[in-house]
Amino acid sequence: MTEYLLTLLMSGLVTGSVYTVTALGLTMVYGILNLMNFAHGETYMAGAYFGYFLLAIFGVSYPIAVLGAILGAALLGVVLEMVAFRPLRNAPQLSPLIASLGVSIFLQNLAMLLWSPTPRMFQTPYVDQIVQIGVISMSMQRVIVFIVCVVLIVALYLVVQRTSLGKSMRAVALDAEAAALMGIDSRMVILATFAIGSALAGVAGALVGPILILSPFMGVPIILKAFAVVIMGGFGSIQGTVLAGFVLGITESFGVLVIPTAYIDTIAFVLLIATLLVRPTGLFAERVEENV
Amino acid sequence: MKHVLALVGFFAAVCTATTASAAEVKVGYLLPLTGGGAEYGQRQLKGANLAIEEFNKQNAGFTIKLITSDTKCTPVEGANAAERLVERDGVDVMIGGSCSPEAIAALRVTQKAKVPHIVPAAAATSITEEGNQFVFRIVPNTKQIAENLADTLADRIKVKRVATVFLNDDFGIDLNTNFVKRIETKGVKVLAQEGIERTTMDFFSTVAKLKPLAPEYVVAPLFNKPAAQLARTMREQGMTAPVSDTIMLTDEFHQLAGPAAFGTIQTTFFHPTVKTEIGRSFVDRFKAKYAGELPGNFEAEGYDAATLAIDALKRSGADKAVSREKVTAALRGTRDFPGVMGPITFDEKGQVVAVASKFVLIRNNQGKVEAMD
């Protein structure tokens, strides 16, 4: 029984770390632009495919493939910001939201056209390498997913809190106009935010791709979870997102004890509704005034 | 207006007359040739083309022209494609139905036009349950497939404890319910039944739940990729029980799962290693026509559907005149037709009788996939 519970805990930590990293990208863009970017899931999908092609077609090693996926996803984010979102900067708030929906549908169909709707398996040497951690066994790939995600979460926190870029980001999030008056190039800051946020989605995709199955629609389930995490975490709060991401991952994992696997996806929304009932501003509502 | 109608009627009569007396009989084939199910369609067509080619060389008094139409595996396109073949091409026999929704939509069209319709693949039990007098399905339906799998595991493999993982949709639930019902009557314990969504790609928690129950087989009627994913995750957590699946698996599963697929057993309709004489001969002729390619379920379905259509046409006297009514009657009277996927006899609903020889049990023996005796 302890073995079973520990396995579920590990599984929850791995899933939670992926939810967190994906949701962090989403929450960063939200914090700065008040934009819920629906296309974030497709950036995650693209990251997984970039990694897959680099490894399977160009034969580079897995770490290089992940790096490639990060760069590719960041580039995709920058292009999307310039083409789809920047022209709508002064439009009503609903317009960029709908634009992001459009981009999401466009990218799914583009992926179907370019890469065919047939699902693919992303094989890395680490998938079949089994490691024994105490009484439980899991693949090296899952361990890598967890470690890299945790490193990324810490790195992102440090970037936002300690660097001048992070300070500029927080300034733009507080008040873009005032930040611009203080000499901050808000366009560059927004671009950088999109690049970092998309890179996070891309790296998440390239990391979990090998333990999932790649398809042009793989971004849809993860974006729903990431939305729930962002809202639970209190829109734009890094600490809140991290907490909510891990809570969701672990709850889902232990959920199999009480409900059938097919209904696991409902947990995210039950948690979301429960959070909104108890704390309507999310777990960490530190910036609630800034966002209204 | 009256004249125009008379004219139309005249032309229609002329057209029908020429079709009936011509030495060429048109057989329609509805297939998914593009989209998600394209592979199934393309492979069925190869089998059907082999059958037609062989027949047309025989000088049997008439020849067959096979006309295909793309259903894209969707009900809308299925109905449109059937409409095209019936109205525009005036086919006298229809073959088709790979995905169940597409088959159901197409059958409405052929039933209205009274065109005999052979269903080669679609498995939904309801297809032959709606009183359609023109439908003839040559493969076992979902219920028969589920019950055969249960019988095989209980009687041949002699398992005592299984767990199931199934798709939580119409097809998966139908399959799982019938399987569990049947195998429980045989005294086999079903330890867990885990429904999953089509989007489920990570089976880690599911496997963690199954492992402590220690089933002898995990019965998972899933498609290649999720099944491979499940098998690999089971090995990852140190489960040694093999997976058992049914008609959905192809060679791709064994390649993807690698050593995790060792021991997998699967019931299916046809496998290139079958030991029946008619099956061996089909494999040889197929290989000769298609540069050594091996036929599987889909190719056999296309071949059996086409040879059955030809046989019914022959029996209805198509060398003299083609009559849809007579072909329908001939199909209805089919008794022990020697198909490569086993004998074909229809019950009063047009459903093939699921005798045990309609199924073949295949097993992955340390990487070598072959039919069991």
More confident residue, B1 or A63: A63
To the nearest 5 percent, what fractions of chain B are helix, strand and coil? Answer: 50, 20, 35
Q: What is the tens place of the pLDDT at every residue in B180-233?
A: 999 999 999 999 999 988 777 889 888 998 999 999 999 999 888 889 999 999
Are B190 and B245 contacting, i.e. CB atoms less than 8 angstroms apart?
Answer: no
As for the ipTM of the complex, it is 0.78
Q: Is the pLDDT of residue B5 over 80?
A: no
* Residue carrying the six token digits 């109608």: B5
Q: Is the pLDDT of residue B145 over 90?
A: yes
* Partner residue opposite B202 with nearest CB, options A3, A212, A255: A212
Instruction: Determine which of A6-10, B37-41, B273-277, B307-311 has the lowest per-residue pLDDT on average.
Output: B37-41
CA B362 to chain centre: 17
Which residues does chain B have within 8 Å of residue A257's beta carbon, measured at their own beta carbons? 209
Q: Which of A211, A223, A250, A257 is the best substitution to test chain B (most B C-beta atoms within 10 A)?
A: A211
Are B359 and B268 contacting, i.e. CB atoms less than 8 angstroms apart?
Answer: yes
Please state the rounded mean pLDDT for residues A82-102. 92
pLDDT confidence tier of residue A285, bands split at 50, 70 and 90: low
Which residues does chain B have within 8 Å of residue A223's beta carbon, measured at their own beta carbons? none
Contact state of A119 with B225 under an 8 Å Cβ cutoff: yes
Q: What is the DSSP letter of B225?
A: H
Please state the rounded mean pLDDT for residues A130-135. 86
Q: Which ranges of A139-218 does DSSP label H, i.e. alpha helix?
A: 140-162, 164-174, 176-181, 186-208
Check residue B159 and give its pLDDT.
Answer: 95
Of A158, A185, A150, nearest in space to A171 by CA:
A185
Contact state of B197 with A265 under an 8 Å Cβ cutoff: yes
Check residue A4 and give its pLDDT.
Answer: 86
Which residues does chain B have within 8 Å of residue A3's beta carbon, measured at their own beta carbons? 212
Q: Is the pLDDT of residue B325 over 90?
A: yes
Check residue B4 and give its pLDDT.
Answer: 52
d(C-alpha B89, C-alpha A104), whole Å: 41
d(C-alpha A66, C-alpha A72), whole Å: 10
pLDDT confidence tier of residue A286, bands split at 50, 70 and 90: low
Instruction: Determine which of A105-119, B135-149, B324-338 has the lowest per-residue pLDDT on average.
Output: A105-119
Q: Is the pLDDT of residue B7 over 60?
A: no
Check residue B258 and give its pLDDT.
Answer: 86
d(C-alpha B175, C-alpha B125), whole Å: 10
More confident residue, B354 or A253: A253
User: E strands of B87-127, at which residues?
Assistant: 93-96, 117-119
Radius of gyration in angstroms for the set of CA atoms belonging to chain A, rounded to a whole number: 19
More confident residue, A236 or B295: B295
Q: Is the pLDDT of residue B133 over 90?
A: yes
pLDDT confidence tier of residue B318, bands split at 50, 70 and 90: confident
- Between strands B342-344 and B368-371, the pairing is unpaired
CA-based nearest residue in chain B for residue A120: B225
Check residue A119 and give its pLDDT.
Answer: 81
pLDDT confidence tier of residue B17, bands split at 50, 70 and 90: very low
> What average pLDDT does chain B have?
90
pLDDT confidence tier of residue A82, bands split at 50, 70 and 90: very high
pLDDT confidence tier of residue B6, bands split at 50, 70 and 90: low
Q: Does B200 touch chain A (CB under 8 A)?
A: yes
Are B141 and B125 contacting, i.e. CB atoms less than 8 angstroms apart?
Answer: yes
d(C-alpha B335, C-alpha A235), whole Å: 69
Q: Is the pLDDT of residue B340 over 90?
A: yes
Of B145, B138, B156, nearest in space to B341 by CA:
B138
Contact state of B212 with A1 under an 8 Å Cβ cutoff: yes
Q: What is the tens place of the pLDDT at every residue in A176-220?
A: 888 889 889 988 999 999 999 999 999 999 999 999 889 898 999
